[in-house]
Amino acid sequence: MRTIMTRNPHDSFSFSRRYFHWKKKGVEDERDEDMVEILNLNSSSKFEEKEKGKTEEINSQMRSLSLGSAKVPRKKLSVMAAFKLRSALALGKTQFTPGLGTKVVGTLFGHRRGHVHIAFQEDFKLNPAFLVELATPTSILVKEMASGLVRIALECEKKVRKKGFKLIEEPMWRTYCNGKKCGYAMKRECGPEEWKVLNAIGPISMGAGVLPGRGNGAESDGELMYMRAKFERVVGSKDSEAFYMMNPDGNGGPELSIYLLRV
């Protein structure tokens, strides 16, 4: 930028006199102002149209988002309603078969002259997720448990099944008790008789006892014996699981472990 200097000390630095020429307003100035106003008007109208377009676009996007968000809950509600309806039709009003967690309720029961049943439940109020009937007589298992150490192994053959078929859903098992082969075990559905036993035991978390038997005289199956305890479930793989009975006091009582193996 060129610096403006005075020629002598008497000169003035008044820019309004020396470098700006003030003229009277004439026709050309009015035309210039009219052109400026027209340009300002055009630019403002274009700006308003642009802003209006942006506003309409934002409003349309908000309407589409609101419509989309309104559709999602309806879809979720319809899916949940259908799921609840299917569950109610398939399992009844109060029964529901869940999966098993790491802590389960285990119950062994059977009539003195009958066979042993093993049931595992997530909660004593829920339908058993695993229920099998062993070929082992109840009296034999009672004698084995008197020794204080019982290991029951249930083995099934590994077959080609559909994806997601769980180990506890296998229908037939070979049974071993403390290393001795004891026939086969069959998966059972929890019918009225089984529910009667489980409901009679009720909310007992751990203990053993005897319930009155069915029938009279020679036709009686004898007293119904049961044992209930908390079990820790350990999943080794999709083909192996183990259930270990938990003693609250840490000592005393029989030690019982049940293994499920697919070989």
The mean per-residue pLDDT over the stretch 191-208 comes to 91
With bands split at pLDDT 50, 70 and 90, how would you rate the model's confidence at 147?
A: confident
Write down the pLDDT at residue 203.
85
User: Do residues 112 and 221 make contact, with C-beta atoms less than 8 angstroms apart?
Assistant: yes
Is residue 137's pLDDT more than 60?
yes
Question: Which residue's structure tokens are 């859903």?
Answer: 169
Write down the pLDDT at residue 240.
96
Least confident range of 33-37, 87-91, 165-169, 234-238: 87-91
Percent of the chain, pLDDT > 90? Answer: 42
Write down the pLDDT at residue 253.
59
Write down the pLDDT at residue 12.
43
Write down the pLDDT at residue 72.
41
With bands split at pLDDT 50, 70 and 90, how would you rate the model's confidence at 258?
A: very high
Is residue 62's pLDDT more than 90?
no
User: Do residues 95 and 74 make contact, with C-beta atoms less than 8 angstroms apart?
Assistant: no
The mean per-residue pLDDT over the stretch 195-201 comes to 92
User: Do residues 192 and 210 make contact, with C-beta atoms less than 8 angstroms apart?
Assistant: no
Write down the pLDDT at residue 232.
94
Is pLDDT larger for residue 250 or for residue 70?
Answer: 250
With bands split at pLDDT 50, 70 and 90, how would you rate the model's confidence at 63?
A: low
> Which ranges of 175-216 would DSSP assign to H, the alpha helix?
192-201
- Dihedral of CA 153/158/161/163: which sign? positive
Give the model confidence (pLDDT) of 93-126 as tens digits: 334 445 689 999 999 999 988 999 999 999 999 9
Instruction: Give the whole-angstrom CA distance, residue 116 versus residue 177.
Output: 12
pTM value?
0.61
User: Do residues 167 and 238 make contact, with C-beta atoms less than 8 angstroms apart?
Assistant: yes
The mean per-residue pLDDT over the stretch 54-75 comes to 53
DSSP state of 70: H
DSSP state of 212: P
With bands split at pLDDT 50, 70 and 90, how would you rate the model's confidence at 218?
A: low
With bands split at pLDDT 50, 70 and 90, how would you rate the model's confidence at 15?
A: very low
